[in-house]
């Protein structure tokens, strides 16, 4: 049976008790935690919403979600919305409410719920640090491309010429100008992860610039004005690209492909895993950043409305980005197909001899650009055996089926299309400014997931924010791993394996902490904040559905990694991509990344048990010592004038008890009970 709602009197009492408990626990905590009255706050609700949206809407919305829609069709969106409603929104609401109620970072929140679970916060900080390391590398790549966008023609517009042979570079001729520029000019990539190569000096400088921007924003704090621009600007660019893209030939073909339903995917467990993972990462669950941002809210803020609003904005942003991607991919596919049809010009050589043959095209081949692709494919299907090898099938569907995800979508496919636009430098500059701001807004939230818990628990960091730059310096030094020629392979390793399993484990423990350890009291706390009780469905979603869903996602991800084996895609100088397995040391590195991020949870639990046992042992020894007995005797006689001594003399039955008796032990052993009054005496029970 559901616990009844609190009445007004009980709600007021609980709210007052909660505030007093928070102040007391904050003042008495170790490490000099910052009290709620000294905590920074958002200047406005708009600033908070922009920060929360800026963190949750990141590069994954632009290149991961569109790729999953490309692979699975429009039915994937319905599956995504279903999981977003029953898993994503409840977990997002839970983190918002926890941060706002307790007003601490991730470490302080889980320490407040149960000291045994403080390791959850440290695991979140560890994963945030992993993500920050490689995420800033992507920002550095965006800076590199942004700097190369201020020239016409764009450097990836066409293949370069070898100065020695005066011919097109073979690696570029075998692939494409954009692929060559990305792998050879930007990354100068090695053939495998085993070949480290020297440092890429240009990328090292871009990485230094990226960390400098992040460091300055972190010193400024949550009220940095950069946050406004980095959160809003990507939407402006996405709408501009959408309007421009809808004017392109092939745009509607791309949109049709995007929304074409493939209902059979619902029976594929792998697709369910992909959808759940995307929901998980799109909302930024488990990082601690959602908790950190919400902890700066006033206690009476409507966090339930915020959870619904930010989740909807996140989903609509993913749809908007997908529309932009698919109109661009539709234009790209149409352009490639029309280039294929243009090979019909070779039939003009055979015109005098073969124009009367039965297989001769019935359309005008003198203007290949005016030939409809459907007419060409119909002719080719019947008479392909009659023409030479240079005439091939030109399928728009096959070009659309060539899915590109991640960095390949942003730095290869998009750059190829933008090179075809009139005024290409302008469009390239806009696009990479958008990527830069998407990355920075997410990076700011990720760093807050690290710094807010540390500042809450270590007062030195709170008083001297410039010390926080040391984390940025450390991040840059470790980030040099990614600026080697083989650095892209390490970015792939961190992106695929450093965060997924540890974050799922963190969220599972978070949900168990709130729904099973904290219990129904959490709903009471939310009722005090919101002045109304959330629907009871949240309680059951937290206790059962979310825990089971996260457990299933953890099992599916782990089994996939075990049976499929960790792999990565390499690029060689023959302009071909190969899927390779990680070497032994690479496998060991993956295991270490996962273990180091997950270890704080059991370590903190064991540490708590050891400390509790030691404290109980010390308290027991002090309680039995003669000095403690003598101290208690002195206090009782001097303060309360009690007729009591070590010989156990009994108190007279009619003598009143005029004050509390001092008992040994810490304050955690006591519980205040309501006073009971009658006409004769007043008694306070302890």
pLDDT value, residue 648: 43
Mean pLDDT of 177-202: 90
What residues pair up with 52 in beta bridges, in sequence order? Answer: none
pLDDT value, residue 13: 41
Task: Output the CA torsion sign for 106, 112, 115, 117.
Answer: negative
pLDDT value, residue 149: 93
Strand, coil or helix: 497 = helix
Q: Where are the beta strands (DSSP E) in 122-196?
A: 161-162, 167-168
- Other Cβ atoms within 10 Å of 573 Cβ, number: 13
Binding residues: 54, 57, 61, 314, 438
Q: What is the DSSP code string of 21-65?
A: HHHHHHHHSTT-PPPGGG----S-HHHHHHHHHHHHS-HHHHHTH
Task: Output the CA torsion sign for 92, 95, 100, 105.
Answer: negative
Which has the minimum average pLDDT: 100-109, 279-288, 450-459? 450-459
CA-to-CA distance for 561 and 558, rounded, in angstroms?
A: 5
pLDDT value, residue 686: 28
Asked if 301 and 100 count as a contact pair (C-beta separation under 8 A), the reply is yes
pLDDT bracket for residue 361 (50, 70, 90): low
CA angle 513, 518, 519 (to 5 degrees): 110
pLDDT digits (tens, 9 = 90+) for 365-386: 666 666 777 777 777 766 666 6
pLDDT value, residue 405: 65
Q: Does the structure show a pLDDT above 70 at 525?
A: yes
585 Cβ neighbours under 8 A, 6+ residues apart: none
Q: Does the structure show a pLDDT above 70 at 606?
A: yes
Cα 443 from chain centre: 10
> Rounded to two decimals, what is the model's pTM?
0.80
Q: Which two three-digit tokens encode residue 574?
A: 């023959």
pLDDT value, residue 671: 42
Mean pLDDT of 631-654: 46
Q: Does the structure show a pLDDT above 90 at 452?
A: no
End-to-end CA separation in angstroms for the chain: 32
Mean pLDDT of 160-182: 86
Q: Does the structure show a pLDDT above 70 at 129?
A: yes
Mean pLDDT of 98-123: 89
Which has the minimum average pLDDT: 37-46, 115-124, 418-427, 474-483? 37-46
- Other Cβ atoms within 10 Å of 162 Cβ, number: 12
Mean pLDDT of 647-666: 39
pLDDT digits (tens, 9 = 90+) for 10-68: 444 444 444 333 333 333 333 444 455 567 788 888 889 998 998 988 888 888 898 88
CA-to-CA distance for 374 and 372, rounded, in angstroms?
A: 5
Tokens 């990305």 found at: 182
pLDDT value, residue 616: 84
CA-to-CA distance for 167 and 629, rounded, in angstroms?
A: 97
Q: Which two three-digit tokens encode residue 338?
A: 């029309």
pLDDT value, residue 477: 93
DSSP state of 221: -
581, containing H or E segment: strand 577-581
φ, ψ at 570 (rounded to 5°): -105, 160
% of the chain surpassing 70 pLDDT = 75
Most confident residue range from 1-10, 359-368, 509-518, 677-686? 509-518
Mean pLDDT of 1-14: 45
pLDDT bracket for residue 182 (50, 70, 90): very high
Looking at per-residue confidence, does 5 or 377 come out higher? Answer: 377
287 Cβ neighbours under 8 A, 6+ residues apart: 124, 127, 128, 131, 445, 446, 449, 503
pLDDT digits (tens, 9 = 90+) for 477-515: 999 999 999 999 999 999 888 888 899 999 999 999 888
Q: Does the structure show a pLDDT above 70 at 676?
A: no
Q: What is the DSSP code string of 246-295?
A: HTSTTHHHHHHHHH---GGGGG-HHHHHHHHHHHHHHTTTTSSHHHHHHT
CA-to-CA distance for 284 and 289, rounded, in angstroms?
A: 7
Asked if 379 and 362 count as a contact pair (C-beta separation under 8 A), the reply is yes
Alpha helices per DSSP H over 384-495: 396-401, 407-408, 414-418, 424-457, 459-463, 469-479, 487-493
Most confident residue range from 6-10, 201-205, 655-659? 201-205
pLDDT value, residue 348: 58
CA-to-CA distance for 400 and 503, rounded, in angstroms?
A: 34
Domain boundaries, the chain: 8-335+404-565+573-598
φ, ψ at 40 (rounded to 5°): -60, 160
pLDDT value, residue 664: 38
Q: Which two three-digit tokens encode residue 615?
A: 């404290």
pLDDT value, residue 367: 67
pLDDT value, residue 682: 38
What is the CATH T-level fold of the domain 8-335+404-565+573-598, as seen in this structure? Amino acid/polyamine transporter I (1.20.1740)
- Quick one: CA torsion of 150, 152, 157, 160, rounded to 10 degrees? -100
Looking at per-residue confidence, does 621 or 193 come out higher? Answer: 193
CA-to-CA distance for 151 and 172, rounded, in angstroms?
A: 20
CA-to-CA distance for 178 and 404, rounded, in angstroms?
A: 13
569, containing H or E segment: strand 567-571
Q: Which two three-digit tokens encode residue 357?
A: 């043959």
pLDDT value, residue 344: 64
Binding residues for Na(+): 54, 57, 61, 314, 438
Strand, coil or helix: 373 = helix
Q: Does the structure show a pLDDT above 60 at 684?
A: no
pLDDT digits (tens, 9 = 90+) for 244-275: 989 888 888 888 888 888 888 888 888 898 89
């Amino acid at each position: 049976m559901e616990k009844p709602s609190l009445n007004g009197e009980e709600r007021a009492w609980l709210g007052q008790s909660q505030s007093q408990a928070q102040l007391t626990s904050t003042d008495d905590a170790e490490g000099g935690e910052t009290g709620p009255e000294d905590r920074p706050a958002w200047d406005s609700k708009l600033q908070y919403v922009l920060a929360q949206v800026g963190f949750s809407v990141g590069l994954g919305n632009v290149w991961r979600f569109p790729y999953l829609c490309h692979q699975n069709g429009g039915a994937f969106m319905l599956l995504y919305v279903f999981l977003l409603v029953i898993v994503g929104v409840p977990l997002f609401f839970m983190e918002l409410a926890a941060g706002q109620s307790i007003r601490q970072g991730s470490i302080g929140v889980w320490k407040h719920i149960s000291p045994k679970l403080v390791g959850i916060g440290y695991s979140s900080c560890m994963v945030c640090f992993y993500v920050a390391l490689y995420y800033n590398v992507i920002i550095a790549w965006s800076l590199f491309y942004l700097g190369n966008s201020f020239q016409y023609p764009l450097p990836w517009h066409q293949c370069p010429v070898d100065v020695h042979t005066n011919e097109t570079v073979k690696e570029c001729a075998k692939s494409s100008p954009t692929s060559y520029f990305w792998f050879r000019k930007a990354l100068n990539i090695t053939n495998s992860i085993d070949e480290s190569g020297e440092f890429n000096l240009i990328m090292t400088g871009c990485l230094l610039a990226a960390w400098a921007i992040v460091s300055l924003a972190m010193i400024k704090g949550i009220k940095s004005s950069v946050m406004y621009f980095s959160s809003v600007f990507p939407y402006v660019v996405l709408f501009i690209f959408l309007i421009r893209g809808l004017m392109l030939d092939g745009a509607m073909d791309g949109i049709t492909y995007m929304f074409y339903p493939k209902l059979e995917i619902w029976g594929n467990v792998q697709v369910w895993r992909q959808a759940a993972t995307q929901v998980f990462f799109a909302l930024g669950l488990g990082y601690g950043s959602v908790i950190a941002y919400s902890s700066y809210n006033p206690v009476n803020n409507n966090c339930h409305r915020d959870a619904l609003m930010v989740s909807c904005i996140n989903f609509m942003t993913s749809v908007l980005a997908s529309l932009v991607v698919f109109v661009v991919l539709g234009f790209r596919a149409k352009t490639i197909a029309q280039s294929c049809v243009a090979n019909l010009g070779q039939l003009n050589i055979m015109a005098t001899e073969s124009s009367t043959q039965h297989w001769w095209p019935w359309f005008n081949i003198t203007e290949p650009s005016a030939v409809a692709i459907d007419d060409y494919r119909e002719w080719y299907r019947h008479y392909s055996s009659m023409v030479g090898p240079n005439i091939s099938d030109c399928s728009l569907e096959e070009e659309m089926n060539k899915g590109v995800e991640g960095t390949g979508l942003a730095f290869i496919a998009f750059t190829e299309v933008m090179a075809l636009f009139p005024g290409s430098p302008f469009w390239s500059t806009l696009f990479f400014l958008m990527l830069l701001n998407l990355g920075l807004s997410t990076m700011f939230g990720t760093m807050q997931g690290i710094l807010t818990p540390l500042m809450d628990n270590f007062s030195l960091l709170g008083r001297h924010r410039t010390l926080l730059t040391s984390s940025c310096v450390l991040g840059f030094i470790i980030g040099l791993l990614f600026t080697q020629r083989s650095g892209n392979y390490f970015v792939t390793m961190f992106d695929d394996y450093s965060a997924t399993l540890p974050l799922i484990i963190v969220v599972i423990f978070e949900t168990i902490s709130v729904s099973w350890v904290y219990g129904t009291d959490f709903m009471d706390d939310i009722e005090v904040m919101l002045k109304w009780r959330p629907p009871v469905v949240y309680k059951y979603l937290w206790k059962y559905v979310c825990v089971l869903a996260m457990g299933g996602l953890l099992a599916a991800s782990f089994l996939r990694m075990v049976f499929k084996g960790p792999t990565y895609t390499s690029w060689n100088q023959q302009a071909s991509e190969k899927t390779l397995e990680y070497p032994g040391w690479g496998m060991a590195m993956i295991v270490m990344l996962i273990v180091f991020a997950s270890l704080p949870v059991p370590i903190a639990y064991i540490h708590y048990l050891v400390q509790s046992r030691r404290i109980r042992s010390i308290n027991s020894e002090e309680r039995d010592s003669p000095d403690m007995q003598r101290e208690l005797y002195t206090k009782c006689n001097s303060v309360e004038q009690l007729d009591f001594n070590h010989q156990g003399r009994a108190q007279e039955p009619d003598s009143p008890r005029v004050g509390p008796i001092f008992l040994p032990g810490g304050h955690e052993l006591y519980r205040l009970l309501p006073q009971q009054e009658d006409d004769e005496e007043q008694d306070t029970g302890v």
